[in-house]
Amino acid sequence: MRQILAALSLGVVMAASAQANQTISIATGGTGGVYYPIGGGLAEMIGRHIDGYSGVAEVTGASVENMGLIHRQDSDLALALADTVYQAYHGQGVFEGRRQVSDVRAIASVYPNAVQLVTLANSDVHSLADLRGKRVSVGAPGSGTEVNARTLLEANGITLRDLRAQRLNFNETADALRDGDIDAGFWSVGPPTSSIMSLATARDIRVISLSEEEIAKAMAAEPVFAPYTLRAGLYEGVDQPVQTIGIPNVLAVNAAMPDELAYQITRVLFERVDELRAIHSAANDTTVEFSLTSTPIPFHPGALRFYEQTGADIPDRLRP
């Protein structure tokens, strides 16, 4: 009888322990981008520093898909581009008529993306206009890259019908460029990104600069765009600075997340940010200041509590 009671007691303890150790799922993107290592790093930080929780990074189609996962609460956290998050919150663009507007909230803006248009060095693509009629990867279906590429192109009078558009993820785009299957490809990702770095070691590449006029038109079409300069030497063989546009990446949640959990995640993100920077240099921009100036939608109340504790001046637009 004592053995039976002991076994039952152990079973209860193990069940309670399993129930207490909840897994936080983090929707990221493809393995060739920055979302996946950043999400994996955050998952490890949650497991180390928030009692009763572990984290796991999920490979997804990135920004647009991730907003759907948050809306349905199929993922607990998600990384997504600011324009996609903004459109989801306001029910605009691909989210028009959907219900995301009522439930997406921000934890933080983590780092800025750069829209990078890459071709081979011997290509006859030297500008945005040269893409007409070319085989161009505009990003994985439902990704922030696809949204950004479409916005940039259309703002400058180019539609996807003007291209021989293909929808490939980062690794697929790099492979297709390397093998000569496409003429150019878009990345909207925190630089430097591994798939472009790998491509640059296999082939001589060119990263296309945007003109001031092209940048101005893109910013007029998308308020969260900003000018961004890729430094010289960022990729092998790219010896001159490249002018392009940047856009913040937002860590988003459903409004239904408990306030205390949202607070703890925000606290760990900023107080343990050195652990994230050791995983990827994109996290060098993960600061309270960047988050407060770049986040396009209101914070979750739990996240807001952390920002208030820092004594920072919080814009009214970021309050729920």
Tokens of 257: 């997340």
Over residues 6-15, the pLDDT tens digits come to: 444 444 434 4
Place 20 in a pLDDT band, splitting at 50, 70 and 90. low
Over residues 123-173, the pLDDT tens digits come to: 999 999 999 999 999 999 988 899 899 999 999 999 999 999 999 999 999
Over residues 35-84, the pLDDT tens digits come to: 999 999 999 999 999 999 999 999 999 898 999 999 999 999 999 989 88
Packing angle, helices 82-90 and 144-155, rounded to 10: 90
170 exposure class (CB count in 10 Å sphere: 0-12, 13-18, 19+): buried
Cα–Cα distance for residue pair 200/185, rounded to 1 Å? 13
Question: What pLDDT, on the 0 to 100 scale, is given for residue 99?
Answer: 58
Over residues 256-296, the pLDDT tens digits come to: 999 999 999 999 999 999 999 999 988 998 999 989 988 99
- Long-range pairs, 278-283, Cβ under 8 A, ≥24: 279/37, 279/38, 279/40, 279/41, 280/34, 280/37, 280/38, 280/41, 280/190, 281/192, 282/34, 282/38, 282/110, 282/111, 282/190, 282/191, 283/38, 283/41, 283/110, 283/111
| CATH superfamily, region 113-247 | Periplasmic binding protein-like II (3.40.190.10)
Question: What pLDDT, on the 0 to 100 scale, is given for residue 312?
Answer: 94
Domain boundaries, the chain: 2-111+250-318, 113-247
Question: What pLDDT, on the 0 to 100 scale, is given for residue 6?
Answer: 43
Cα–Cα distance for residue pair 292/262, rounded to 1 Å? 16
Question: What pLDDT, on the 0 to 100 scale, is given for residue 101?
Answer: 53
Residues in the chain: 320
State which CATH number among 3.50.50.60, 3.90.1150.10, 3.40.190.10, 3.40.50.620 fits the domain covering 2-111+250-318: 3.40.190.10
Q: What is the mean pLDDT of the chain?
A: 90
Domains 2-111+250-318 and 113-247 share a fold: yes
